[in-house]
Structure 1
Amino acid sequence: MTIPILSASKPTATDWTALQNFAALRGQFRVSLTPLCNEACWFCHNEGDVPPPHTRLHREDRPRPGELTAVDYLTVLRDVIAAGLKRVYFTGGEPLLSPLARPVLTELPDAGADGSYTLITNGSLVRRNMAWLATTRLDKVKVSLHYFSDASLYEIAGARFGIGQILDGIDAAREMFERVELNTLLQRENAHEILPILDYALERRLPVQFIELVDTDFNKSHRDSAVPAAGLIQHLRALTTDERTEIAGVGQGRRVFRVDGVEIDIIQRDLGRHHVGQCGTCSLRPRCVEGFWSLRMDHAGGVQPCLLRDDLRLDIRPRLAEQVDTASVIARHLSAFTEGTL
């Protein structure tokens, strides 16, 4: 499988407006450290790379090879943070499988009081990496908990290790970090475990986000697995009257509940999403339920503003080689995206 990538254009005057507006609306900078994972969740989009379940079935389709060094990652992070984009999420695949995880995460630049670093993980490798994870500037660990038994873990993720390893990883994260959160995709395969996962989160006072399925080409063969959030919302309304709806900023709208002080988010499709610029004429818009809420940087040196548009991926490796401010080329690319001129 060949994925196109655009080359960074020659330097021109930089308009920082789009990048600054995106940052002000709490947009994310998602940094993929590796496409590899020890799970193969059927719904995985792998940040736009070839997902693990696809590779398991089609060995000839491989993810892009890694092209960045730890120094490259840290250079880009310093540049974008200095430009004001300070909400950084580290993803994979499973990021703790990457040999670059330790040299990157232990050398993170100061993001300031208004910045944050979040590690998104399946939790299975947290315990074994505690010694160095505890020394990082990470503000939060977000654990994907889409299952609550060995049976559902195998059915959803094809994992042969047990759920106990993941739950132990959550405990390990709680030992190190003040902020640990969960996220759970609502699906037919775990519908019987949603309330136990909610109870688990409430007992441990862990914020949790429940997500309705994002319908993309990556999961089209399982679209009948989508489960609406209506039943869960009714249950939460029986537990609390503290509810609000947030539709501002970037990304999908969400319902936010507080139960005994613990925040429960529901990412719900019918609350709408944020679109910009050329999204208005994009042929993929009818199938897009995410909108524009994150800039994604992959391990091959590509940056893209849209999960579904591989043709918008920008290659920043030439700028790294030239030791040019990478934030400026990203800002120009983002401006062109929002203006519909890419």
Structure 2
Amino acid sequence: MNSSGARVTLTDTYGRTVRSLRMSITNRCNLNCIYCHNEGDPGSVREMSVETIVSIVRAAADLGVDRLKISGGEPLLRKDLEDILTELPPLRDVSLTTNAILLKERALSLKEAGLDRVNVSLDTLDPAKFRMITNCKKDILGKVLAGIEEAVRVGLTPVKVNMVLLKDLNENEIEEMLAFTKQFNGNVILQLIELMDFKDVADLHVNADEVEGALLARSTDVKVRQMHHRKKYIINGAEVEFVRPVDNTEFCANCNRLRVTADGKLKPCLLANDNLVDVSNASPEELPALLQLAVSRRVPFYTGRRDQNGSRTDS
């Protein structure tokens, strides 16, 4: 509340109100996927303390944020994840993105600590392709599938399976993945993800228009999510959503998320790197103003020209 008693929200100069945080709690990962953009940053270990994480979330919640997505790296590599969840303020939705290798053993404790649901990165059901995409020599696909099953069993639902579409690798596996998700009777949803240009991966890009056209042709119903106006297609009783963040002005126009890096920097835009706000050593009293500063720097990526590193070129 401000001095007049009005609720203070995190609204940028484009009228977009931030309601969601995506927070990387570690840059460590137990896989090395061929397309990974290292959201948590590679190199030396970077992790905020439980106290810093909770302080940031509390300050954001006081400013109207009611959703939190926890990411990494691989967040399940942090043994204190349940402690983080237990200390969070009340939120409408707390989710986590994971590769699910360690999920089976911790799904119940995460649920009991306050986690609502999980997103699982799974690009293929083929063991050989899985090893190649993840750069992992071990046969660990079974652990991922067991993690999904356990997440459903304990109620971390809906489980969203994130399948990054890769040309000549898995683009012909959509039907198989749909059949896999359908067996969970609505508790598992497939999300097809358009590959983003974080690495030299141009040869792996699929034709997004063709993919979405094929989904539309086969669907019996189409719904539209409020966030980003993304379409959800109902195909043979299974739900599939196509996430298209690349060259997508609608994605930017409806963005309501602020990101937090593993080393404690507020990131107003996933694709921009020149407008970060460091909150790693901020006191709880300083955080509201720093959150407002970060939001004031939010510019829809696809309305301005930027170079390949995400820096503005039209300033």
Q: Does 1:163 align with 2:141?
A: yes
> Match of 1:207?
189
Q: Does 1:329 align with 2:311?
A: no
Pair 129,234 (structure 1): closer, same or farther in 2 beyond 3 Å: same
Instruction: Identify the structure with the greater helix proportion.
Output: 1
Instruction: Report the Cα distance in structure 2 between the residues aligned to 1:272 and 1:336, rounded to whole angstroms.
Output: 18
Instruction: Report the Cα distance in structure 1 between the residues aligned to 2:218 and 2:251, rounded to whole angstroms.
Output: 30
Aligned residues: 290
CA deviations 1:141-173 (Å, max 9, x no partner) are: 111111212111111111223211100000010
Instruction: Report the Cα distance in structure 2 between the residues aligned to 1:118 and 1:203, rounded to whole angstroms.
Output: 22
Instruction: State the Cα distance separating 1:262 from its structure 2 match.
Output: 4.0
> Match of 1:29?
21
Instruction: Report the Cα distance in structure 1 between the residues aligned to 2:120 and 2:163, rounded to whole angstroms.
Output: 9
Q: Does 1:309 align with 2:309?
A: no
Asked whether the equivalents of residues 71 and 96 of structure 2 are also in contact (C-alpha less than 8 Å), the reply is yes
> Match of 2:105?
128
Instruction: State the Cα distance separating 1:331 from its structure 2 match.
Output: 1.3
> Match of 2:41?
49
Q: Does 1:297 align with 2:277?
A: no
After superposing the two structures, state which structure 1 stretch, 14-23 or 81-90, moved more.
Answer: 14-23
Asked whether the equivalents of residues 64 and 300 of structure 1 are also in contact (C-alpha less than 8 Å), the reply is no
Instruction: State the Cα distance separating 1:332 from its structure 2 match.
Output: 2.3
Compare relative contact order (CA 8 Å, sep 6+) and give the higher one, 1 or 2.
1
RMSD: 3.0
Q: For structure 1, list consecutive stretches of 5 or more residues without a partner in the other structure.
A: 1-13, 51-61, 277-290
Pair 192,259 (structure 1): closer, same or farther in 2 beyond 3 Å: closer
Instruction: State the Cα distance separating 1:129 from its structure 2 match.
Output: 1.5
> Match of 1:59?
none
Instruction: Report the Cα distance in structure 1 between the residues aligned to 2:241 and 2:199, rounded to whole angstroms.
Output: 23
After superposing the two structures, state which structure 1 stretch, 233-242 or 76-85, moved more.
Answer: 233-242
Pair 138,148 (structure 1): closer, same or farther in 2 beyond 3 Å: same
> Match of 2:308?
none
Aligned-residue identity in percent: 27
What TM-score, normalized to structure 2? 0.81
Matches within 5 A, 1:212-291: 212-215=194-197, 218-220=198-200, 222-230=201-209, 232-237=211-216, 239-244=218-223, 249-250=227-228, 254-259=230-235, 262-268=238-244, 269=246, 272-275=249-252
Tell me the SS of whatever aligns to 2:21: strand
What TM-score, normalized to structure 1? 0.75
